[in-house]
Structure 1
């Protein structure tokens, strides 16, 4: 067995335990005291258990609310509540019914817990009637696919904090939707559900964090495991590896492991029959090779320079945008739009698309070099303008958004942009250590493109290689899926939009089939010169516990995005039915656990919203004093009598 500590790049020293304005108490009165993430990676799938520990330091019953992140592509399949030697399994129900069951239980003095999804990667946990001095444990079970970024790498990413998000729009006069610090607005009517209070800088670490990841390559030629943002201990006995987070870390940034493999051919079709028979889930991986002949492109770069991009993120964003500009050819046309609350363009390049000449590219890089972070994240106007610039062009059209994604109006943005993205490929570059991956993945999927994560400046060079492949000419477009001897259940293919194929960029397609687990699937498309392209795979019947839940999560995400842009009237009912049938949480369902035993007399309880860490690398002034004040109001005062 080998044991080693994985090194980290040079970083700024951590802030001291206490600082100006820090809050302190004799015994501490924050309800969340531990988070334990236990992941088991097998091949390109992770099974995860998230254990949250809540305690009540008060002299009256407590209701704790915790707004927290989970991986945006993960399927939440179970909830369990443990208290006073009792174990209560959660039930997945329609969201309104689950809330009613929870409220009824709390009113009756019963312990209860409810988990709800507010964004693909933002969830709310409420745990009620925790008795004085009592500890309640919540266990969530997840299945998460690891994105197949190339033929030789994948990433395990687990988010640990919900970063503050810019909330546009006019405040609503209605009752608040949640317990967060932001006002609900006409653009973000549930802003109060995605805006947890933030701990004051210097507040002692209130939560014990543990992360353990067991890695079984399952036949893949694993060569290296790299921790991007944390110091970890790694143990291995040859093929299998266990990675553990060092104690004392705060929940202030994503936990990211990069898994490197020897180059391998992974085109394959797995067929996973249901235990009940009759239907099953397929998973097709296509790994294209070769290079496409360059063709003239229209490229629009949209760069976020808002206040949340301050520090290393702004430096990395400028470098990323400049690198993309440098790859443009004379026959390409391009525009650069930098934005906060206003849109700015490079000097002398006009208001349209400029030719990719040396002079114009120099002007663009000159503009980028002068940018600093400021203002709010008014993202709709620049994306609208980018779509206008790319409209009705016969060329290959590419939109690249470089941002941390910290906005709350994701649904508004998707609803506005989706009709304008016909024929436009959208690639998103997320720069942050607590990035809004849920939104950036949704936008890229809507635009038939890819999302690339840049969590540090050290990651930038590697990420730019991936980005370069994705903004070049595709190998094939107009992709369609065809079955031979396998009956695909109509309307179940995920992603619903197959997009384009790029050199070395895997395409993963999942869906449901009916009948026996045999047959073949082929992906067909057209190359840039008009010739037909096809790749075919023959199915292999396998047993994969997570395949159906992971497909269901991807399918539900597609349906939810259709709902956001104005789908048919019965779409919500279809989403609920799919969620309940396959046991996977979505925005219209919730897991609720209710203890049948009455724990306390009916009466008032103390309500606390758990404050979260300020994301690492963020500067306190950019978040606004109101956010910190709200955090202090939440937990500084004594409980009611």
Structure 2
């Protein structure tokens, strides 16, 4: 697959979508979002405007309505086939109609159709959804409003082409509609700050205690990139319970007719004092053509494949001796470094690193299903639990098939997944990580993948948590029923959310208690949450809808998801809660027109931003890099300027302007860190060499001359110096080197003996540092 095929330029025909207005209400860890799409038909014939757009797979879409000539038309949720029939019949009869649905191929693609929009008429459609906010490693609550929907690769055996292939594209800066966004924040905790990858107005607090605030997107923003908000609360990472009262108008015995609860746990248990030496670590790397593109739509962000290769280096260096590993690359085909997983030794690591250097984004399309099937068909290593790490930009067209395959094999492994770049499929990344009890991470902009990958490796090295259960203490006559699945994996300090329903009479002054119990290394742990049974009065049913979405997703990804019983339960839950599923859609018809709309109906597809204009640059300088969206004229201009771009980069590097000096310094530091890590041996040690001396800023002769004890193994001295350098020169990147530093300290403690104290003192003097001897266990 050519990585840019299917991308079309926007024609001169007016685009009926004129603007998007989004209102976000953040309450603690949940966002309730209302998005209004504003249309106007500037043509002479009636239009059908079709807007295919991305949405986070966890979003619970619960409302859809239209405003035409001052009249509000509320859509109804219907079984999908019936909704399509209603919509098609309305168009045939010359009636105005509106349809909102989830794409059959993936839960993170939606389409909104406005049919029979008369000439000159304006219309607004509003959809509403709720979603949990994910928690970043630094404690930030992350809200993402996606704009980028990359073309999803259609596998060879799949006849129906992905809907993303036919979406028209506008180049960056020429998108014909704008985005307005307002955010209201409310929290039990003080709001510290809000950060974004887009320009915002200053944060305005609306209460003196700083528990409420508001912020706006700067005017005139073109919706040409994913819009990200990072919200920081003080002391937010504490367990909590939210109780929401039953919906008065709900059907009897439905999910909405009972009080709903959202339980947020942050379990903690002792980290292992010694690193585990068990595990079979399999790294599955996307080498499709789209991995050639940059991680983010920002200046100087790395190529996706380069970021993945650098991360592989760190992961390989951080693996424990005694484990097993293998590396697969996939695209239209797949291959592996070794016929089967091999023991982690110096020889195996060196061989793998040489092959990592040669990796490139040269395997065509994104066929992830076949390598997964192959990996699952191979026997694991006895006594070494299988841990699968997947790195991909997520441009996969058979998402549901992939998740189903992972689900079928979930008992045999854990899966840690990394979505690289804007537009990575949230349905794929989250779906396969949840199916196989792992974690999901997204890397965009200038974010470094390395720290997130090492955090996941630490989780993979953590012994499994077993016997996870909830135990309740409730007043007599009150029962609790868990709606979502209990977490099948728990990682220390990371949030686990459970949804439950309360059935029976609730006394306003009563208290309840819930215990999350689990076993870790043969020791039983218990997290207790006590909560008042006074429920929050709300008409928005936020927790109910999140619970419904969680239940729907569990059912859709279950092993018997195709059975009639499960499909019936999905349909019932969706219709009762109003939350869209793969089996339902929202439809509305304006039946109050005085006469049918006349004239041929013309379809207009709304363009999305073209995120990969910069790949035209590669087409200009690489003759074999075919790219249909670049004109010959564009190729010529790019070739003529290629030399100038290289010269400007070299000038920036060697003679940076003041505002660029800090960035260049950071890049140099990262290159030194990478060089140091690349020199580490598999057992955790470093060899005394000129390459190591160069990183440390001295000569090999000087290092040898400063050895505190002539009889000392030079590798011990070199390893002590490398660890001291990490603590003094790369402290901010500690998450990236923490595991390999642990290997180094363990090795040096076993080799240095009584000379270790002298080595640390002499190392501090040589490197002009003051690293505490306690780092080395002294």
Shorter-chain TM-score bucket reads 0.7 to 0.9
* 1:177-226 superposed Cα distances (whole Å, 9 cap, x missing partner): xxxxxxx1xxxxxx44444423254783211122222222x122433322
How far does residue 24 in structure 1 lie from its aligned partner after superposition?
5.4
- Mapping 1:385-534, distance limit 5 Å: 385-389=374-378, 391=380, 393-464=382-453, 466-474=455-463, 476-485=465-474, 492-494=482-484, 496=485, 498-517=487-506, 519-527=512-520, 529-534=521-526
1:132-163 deviations in Å (ceiling 9; x for gaps): 11111110111111123458222111111321
Q: How high is the TM-score relative to the length of structure 2?
A: 0.70
- Any idea what SS the aligned residue of 2:592 has? strand
Which of the residues 97, 109, 119 maps onto 2:82? 97
SS at match of 1:458: coil
Cα separation, 1, equivalents of 2:54 and 2:237: 34
Matched, 1:591 2:583: no
- 2:140 matched to 1:148? no
Unaligned runs of 5+ in 2: 1-7, 249-255, 294-302, 620-624, 632-778
- 1:224 partnered with 2:193: yes
Cα deviations across residues 38-87 of structure 1 (Å, max 9, x unaligned)?
A: 21111111111111112212111111111112222111111110112211
Q: Within 5 A, what are the aligned runs for 1:279-318?
A: 279-293=258-272, 294-295=275-276, 296-311=278-293, 312-318=303-309
Indicate how the Cα distance of structure 1 residues 436 and 88 shifts in structure 2: closer, same or farther if over 3 A, else same: same
Distance 1:423 1:205, change over 3 A: same
Aligned pair partner of 1:64 in 49, 52, 56: 49
Structure of larger gyration radius: 2
Secondary structure in 2 aligned to 1:395? Answer: coil
Assess, with a 3 A threshold, how the Cα gap between structure 1 residues 304 and 497 changes in structure 2: closer, same or farther. farther
Answering whether residue 531 of structure 2 is matched by residue 536 of structure 1, we say no
Is the CA contact 1:151–1:264 (under 8 Å) kept in the aligned structure 2? Answer: no
Please name the residue that 1:16 is paired with: none
Matches within 5 A, 1:64-83: 64-83=49-68
* Maintained 8 Å contact 1:22/1:202: no
Query: Does the alignment pair 1:570 with 2:565?
Result: yes
CA contact (8 A) 2:323 2:384 kept: no
Does the CA-based 8 Å contact 2:279-2:383 persist in structure 1? no
1:124 equivalenced with 2:94 (yes/no): no
Distance change in 2, residues 1:477/1:234 (3 Å): farther
Q: Does the residue aligned with 1:587 lie in a helix, a strand or coil? A: coil
Q: What is the Cα deviation at residue 627 of structure 1?
A: 8.2
CA–CA distance in structure 2, aligned partners of residues 406 and 219 of structure 1: 39
Structure 1 runs not aligned, ≥5 long: 1-20, 173-183, 185-190, 630-641
Q: 1:566 to 1:86 in 2, by over 3 A?
A: closer
Q: Which residue of 1 aligns with 2:94?
A: 109
1:24–1:407 distance in 2 versus 1, CA, 3 Å: closer
Rounded Cα–Cα distance in structure 2 between residues aligned with 1:519 and 1:467: 34
Q: CA deviation at 1:589?
A: 1.0
Match of 2:694?
none
Q: Alignment partner of 1:576: what SS?
A: helix
> Take 1:291 and 1:324, find their aligned partners in 2: how far apart are those partners?
23
1:244 aligns with 2:236: no
Check the 8 A contact 1:94/1:589 in 2, yes or no: yes
Deviation track 1:499-520 (CA, whole Å, cap 9, x = no partner) reads 2211211111112232245533
Residues 532/42 of structure 1: CA separation in 2 closer, same or farther (3 Å cut): same
Residues 53 and 109 of structure 2 are in contact (CA less than 8 Å); yes or no, is this contact kept in structure 1?
yes
Of residues 26, 37, 42, the one that matches 1:41 is 26
Which sits farther off after the overlay, 92-101 or 229-238? 229-238
**For the Cα contact (< 8 Å) 1:211–1:244, is it kept in 2?**
yes
Question: 8 Å contact 1:116–1:590 — kept in the other structure?
Answer: yes
CA distance in 1: counterparts of 2:235 and 2:371, whole angstroms:
39
The CA distance in 1 between the partners of 2:87 and 2:281, in whole Å, is: 50
Higher relative contact order (Cα pairs below 8 Å, separated by 6+ residues): 1
Structure with greater proportional helix content? 2
Instruction: List aligned pairs for 1:259-298, cutoff 5 A.
Output: 259-276=231-248, 279-293=258-272, 294-295=275-276, 296-298=278-280
Does the residue aligned with 2:169 lie in a helix, a strand or coil? coil
TM-score (norm 1): 0.84
1:47 & 1:310 partners in 2: Cα distance?
36
**DSSP-derived class of the 2:203 partner:** strand
Name the CA distance, whole Å, in 1 between partners of 2:356 and 2:324: 17
Q: 1:392 to 1:359 in 2, by over 3 A?
A: closer
Q: Report the Cα distance in structure 1 between the residues aligned to 2:514 and 2:609, rounded to whole angstroms.
A: 47
* Counterpart position of 1:205: 175
Q: 2: CA distance between counterparts of 1:589 and 1:80?
A: 16
Q: Which moved more, 1:370-379 or 1:617-626?
A: 617-626
**1:233–1:243 CA contact under 8 A, matched in 2:** yes
Q: CA deviation at 1:626?
A: 7.0
Tell me how far 1:325 sits from its aligned partner: 1.9
RMSD, aligned CA:
2.8
**Matching residue of 2:557:** 561
CA–CA separation in structure 2 for the residues paired with 1:167 and 1:617 = 22
> Structure 1 pair 134/406, CA: closer, same or farther in 2 (3 Å)?
same
